Every structure is written in C-alpha cells, then in structure tokens.
Amino acid sequence: MAAALAWLAAACLLFAAQVACEYGMVHVISETGSPRGKDYCILYNPQWAHLPHDLSKASLLQLRDWTTSTLCSPSDLPAKGFSNQIPLVTRGNCTFYDKVRLAQGSGAHGLLIVSKETLVPPGGNKTQYEEIGIPVALLSHKDMLDIFKSFGRAVRAALYAPHEPMLDYNMVIIFVMAVGTVALGGYWAGSRDVKKRYMKHKRDDGPEKQEDEAVDVTPVMTCVFVVMCCSMLVLLYYFYDHLVYVIIGIFCLASSTGLYSCLSPLVQRLPFGKCRVCDNSLPYFHKFPQVRMLLLAVFCVAVSVVWGVFRNEDQWAWILQDALGIAFCLYMLKTIRLPTFKDASAQACTLLLLVLFIYDVFFVFITPFLTKSGNSIMVEVATGPADSATHEKLPMVLKVPRLNTSPLALCDRPFSLLGFGDILVPGLLVAYCHRFDVQVQSSRVYFVACTIEGYTSASLGASLS
C-alpha cells in the first residue's frame, strides 16, 4: 500500500512539474529607420506573466543587447539597470528564475533569453511564478542576429501572443486536393474496368490492349511492402542525412512517371504531333514513339528536375511538389488495386488494413518510449530531425503554406502537411468500391458514398491530428 502511494505521489509530482509553454511573437522595429517591423518567434511560459493577444495592446519598449552576460548575479547588471527596457541575455549558468528576478529588480518590463540550442519553455515553481510579474521568453540566437542585422542596434520590441485562428484556410486547400485526388484516382481505376469490359464484348485485339496492366495486391506483397516500409523508416531515422537524397531522387523519378501517365491521355487527344520518331537504335526510340509523347516525356522530366533543384524555395516550390505528388498518387491508384471480389480479396484487404494499423500505432505511439529523445520515429522522419545537418525534408507529402499569421506558422510549422499514405490507403478502398459498382452496374453509388463519407472523415481526422 505504501509503495502504491509512493508511486502515486511521484506521478503527481511529475504532472505538477510539467511546464506550460506557448508560442508567441516579438515585434521589432527600428528606432531610427522605417516604421515597418518584423515578427520573430519566441517560446514563453504564461505562468510567469501573460502576454497580450493584440499587438496594439503590447508596450513597445527599447530592446537592449546584454548578451555578453548570462545575468546570473547582481554584478552582471548594468549600472543604471534596465528601466523600461527588454534586455537580451544569454542562456546558461543559472536558472531562468535567477535571470528574470534580477531583470525585474532592475526595472525591466520583460526578458528575452537568447539560446543557441533548441528552445525549451522557461520553467520554475509556483512560489517563483507568484513572485515574478514580467514576461520571460526564449529567442533563438539566429533570430537575434537577424534582428540586429536588419534593424541595427537601436531597436524597440513588443511581446505579444495572438490567438490561433479557428479555421486554417490552408487546411481547406489540402482537404480539397486530397479528396479530389482520391475521387479522381478511384474514378480512373474503375473506368479502366469499364473499358476492359467493353473491349471484351467487342473482342478487340487492337493496340488498346497494350495498355499497362494493374498490379493486384496479394498477402505476400502486403507483408513485403510493410517490412520494406519499416526498414526504410528505421534507416531514415538513423541515417537521415544520407538517405534523404535517395528518397528525393526516387520521388523525382516516380512523380515524373506519374505526371506522364496522367497527361498522356490528354496529349493523345491533340490533333498535332502524331508523326513518329524515325528508325534508330536507341533503347526507348526503337518503339517509334510519337513526337508529342516524346515532348511530353521531356516536359515531365523537366518539371521534376526543376522541383529537385529549387525544392527549398518555400515561396513557390510547394506548388510543383503538390502537382507532382498528386500525379504520383493518381498513378498509384490507377496501377495498384485490391484483388477482385473473392475470398482471397477479403483476406488481402483485411491483412493490408491490419498491418498498416499496427505499423501506424507502433511507429507513432510506441516508439516515443524506445527513443532517447522521446519523439515518435514516424513524426521525426516526416518532419525532419531537428539536428539534421542538411535541413532537407522528405517530399512524400502535400504541403500548403499557412495563410493565417499566427505563432504556430512562424515558430513551429509554416506548412500544413498531409502524407501520401493518408491519400493512397483510403484511395485504394475508393477505387475498390468503384470497381464493385462496375461489376454490379450500380450507377457508382458505392463509389460516391465511400468518397464522401469514408475519405472525408479520414482526411479530416488526419488534418486535425
């Protein structure tokens, strides 16, 4: 009984010791130059002091560079103190409470602690929180250098923490793209079956039969696929900086193939460019492709190469990434399909969904207990490790920049992301339903219901998680 009470007390202490933290902003303007300012990310603890939610209600005070000191003893204070100022001090050598207590005693109206390491919430205890009445926050060293480079040494700053918007318009865009991709991919996959049934009735052995066949998912293929995914995820976790470029190269190749597959039916309808390449011994050209299809292949490769070269241009490269990603997903939904309606079909579908569920639960919810950092392996790989030397991101996501100004957009996640898995797995089911509609000739009722009800709910859940 005593041991149980001890464990309960320890759990309560751990719960009480958790530090509240929120993202905020420091708005900086020059005292001598343009009145136009800039916002920078800060991480603060509202238990010290709350920040106003509106910039107009925040006091614009002189920002004093005191980063030559860690502000751990009274001897570190300037002779005239920090009256009506917000000092910048260096992190380390003492507790956050020691720093903010000295700053408050010398007349400061806030404290910014500059950190070269990962930002952590400035913690304390209940007694210390009650004693302190000024806000304290952490600012990255990189942002401090940018402040003085952009505005000079004579600057003023205001600390505030605007509310997160109730509706992210970027999530609406991602939702429309995802649902549209699944609906179009499912419709395309079912339309192939309609075409095959028509050709079978016509008994036509013409060139239409040369179209590449779909790949049926089997239980063995499912197991091999999941083992490969697990292996690749673990390898990326430990060797991210080396393997990320391999993944980027694979994405460029696969997405250009998908883009070609999506655009080729449209290009084939064009009334020009039907002439074929003349006889030669080159590997691809021995099939005598049409000039328009050759130009389409060059265009698709060029698009993927342009994205690969400029992939880190945040202002516009995400548009190319989304276009290539959607084309890749459509190609996969058209090519890979769940098996036809037999007993083996139910086994394959059940096995696929079961192993993917276990895979997701393990790598998202179990691995935080197995890693030193306490972070999920899947989240760490998907967002890129914080200590990555390359700062590259995996491209297997749809991404849209946040359209609302908020601390979350500035500090943590400037883009909203949706992984390809959240599109492909439900998309296979939608395509399956459309193929079932074709089999029973049900006017696509199952396809529409699955698209609207099933995937809409799943994508909303993935977006909110």
Written as six digits, the tokens of 461 are 């859940």
Closest C-alpha among 221, 211, 218, 219 to residue 191: 211
Q: How far apart are CA 286 and CA 417, in angstroms?
A: 42
What number of other Cβ atoms are within 10 A of residue 283's Cβ?
7
Q: How far apart are CA 236 and CA 222, in angstroms?
A: 21
In sequence order, what are the residues at sequence separation of 6 or more whose Cβ sits closer than 8 angstroms to the Cβ of residue 4?
Answer: none
Q: CB–CB of 348/339 below 8 Å?
A: yes
Q: CB–CB of 183/451 below 8 Å?
A: yes
Closest C-alpha among 55, 60, 4, 3 to residue 25: 55
Q: CB–CB of 4/123 below 8 Å?
A: no
Q: How far apart are CA 178 and CA 365, in angstroms?
A: 25
Q: Which member of 54, 204, 360, 412 is catalytic?
A: 360
- At residue 297's C-alpha, the angle toward residues 296 and 301, to 5°, is 115
Q: CB–CB of 78/53 below 8 Å?
A: no
Q: Which member of 39, 168, 322, 422 is catalytic?
A: 422
Q: How far apart are CA 72 and CA 70, in angstroms?
A: 6
**Residue labelled with tokens 């895979």:** 359
Q: How far apart are CA 72 and CA 56, in angstroms?
A: 33
Written as six digits, the tokens of 438 are 């074709």
State how far the alpha carbon of 92 is from the alpha carbons of 20, 88, 138, in Å. 20, 13, 12
Quick check: is 360 catalytic?
A: yes
Q: Which residues are catalytic?
A: 360, 422
